[in-house]
Amino acid sequence: MRLESNFVQKQQQKQSQKLNMTQQLSQSIAMLQFATADLVAFLEDKALENPLIEVIPGSDFATDFSYSSRKSSGSSDDTDWLEQIADNKLTLADALKEQLHLMDVTQTQKIIVLYLIESLNDNGYLQIDLKDVSAALLMDDSSVLEGLEILQSMEPAGVGARDARECILLQIERSPDAPYIAYDVIQKFFTEFAEKKWKIIAAEMDVSLQDIQEVSDYIQTLNPKPGSEFESERVQYVVPDLILLQHENEFAVSLAKQFLPQVRFQEAYYETMRATEEKDVAQFLREKAGEFDWIKKGIEQRENTLQRVGEAIVSHQKAYFLDNSAHLQPLTLKEVAEELSVHESTVSRAVNGKYMETTTGVYELKRFFASGLQKKSSENENAGDISSTTIKKLVQEFVAAEDKLKPLSDQKIVDMLAEKEIQVSRRAIAKYRLELNIPSSSKRKRF
């Protein structure tokens, strides 16, 4: 019986140890994948669970950089203090309610307009049926329509519209600069105008293509999302994980440890608790001390991996870091993984959501990985690779310099790249153009 009991106990210990190792491995992988803010939150949570872990906060990136930049510009202490006061911008609803309080309206109209204001989306559009408003407020349709007209008379122009067409029409109505045919074009031919079927519109309205072009240029000055100007998003600061230092033509990559908290072992607490000599306390201390050890190892492994990946990136992209006008070299996760003798997924986790501070700004590590396409020499032999990032940049340059009366087709761009000995398909150009938010040639055409 005793042998059987010992066997079961040993099996349970092995299973427990295996489970602990699996959990530790899983959390070590997670620590590598964590962005700086997530890692800080993870360590703080662990400190709450483990009394042997003390977390000492690192430097605050936003405070360090924004404060020093203000000081260097010669701002006064008063200015610095004032800049720390929260900027409480009005929401769209607040702005509309303030206008409503100054308007000469009845109590019934006020109730309706307030209900409509609360029914607006972030862009300032009303996406609720007026009959539903009538039913909810127990009022007749004509009264609700009057309330909508009051709302649509407010600032910003276009607020309270039920779709993009109505939003533009509301802005045209108030604008003294609108071309004389603008309202009719949008009211009668909104779909055709959006699809750039301008010849059909010109024929129907007996006007020239230049007149339609003038309407298009004017519409570009309007705001299709009048409520968006009231969106107040908190500024998000990117915390770099690596810092690139340059001395002449040489580079050095260092870890941005100053922004990370330090993890310290609570030695005094450990010694005090261990002095009790209670078995349960001793087991608890062993577990928590072991947890501290693997967290320290996980942090060190994360830092080591980030350092090595950062150095590999800089080594491959040295020409780019020396001259930002140079093109990025084709580089894949697999290449770096093979170079560092790690799994490709390890490199992927290391670069995802991680940033490097350089002399020209803070960039995500993923930015420096670019797929490559074959570049052919005049003798039809491989002349090396060129990254898709470089091709996209060339496409942007070609389109920026094109004759807008005769914009470049995708095939023409393919031909122009071929002249530079870059072989790429028309389908690839169409894909890159969409990624760059460049419309097709027919939609770029001016008259």
pLDDT band of residue 231 (cuts 50, 70, 90) is low
What is the mean pLDDT of the segment spanning 271-280?
83
Burial per residue of 209-220, b for 16 or more beta-carbon CB atoms within 10 angstroms, e otherwise: eebbbbbbebbe
What pLDDT sits at residue 24? 60
Cα distance between residue 325 and residue 314, in whole Å? 16
pLDDT in tens, 110-126: 999 999 998 999 899 99
Cα distance between residue 289 and residue 46, in whole Å? 12
Consecutive H or E run containing 272: helix 267-274
What pLDDT sits at residue 72? 38
Closest CA to 219 of 168, 156, 175, 161: 168
**Residue 179 three-state SS:** coil
Q: Provide the greatest CA pair distance for the chain.
A: 104
Least confidently predicted of 22-31, 88-97, 372-381: 372-381
pLDDT band of residue 273 (cuts 50, 70, 90) is confident
What number of other Cβ atoms are within 10 A of residue 50's Cβ?
16
What is the mean pLDDT of the segment spanning 199-217?
91
Q: What is the pTM of this model?
A: 0.52
Closest CA to 179 of 224, 135, 231, 221: 221
Cα distance between residue 364 and residue 157, in whole Å? 39
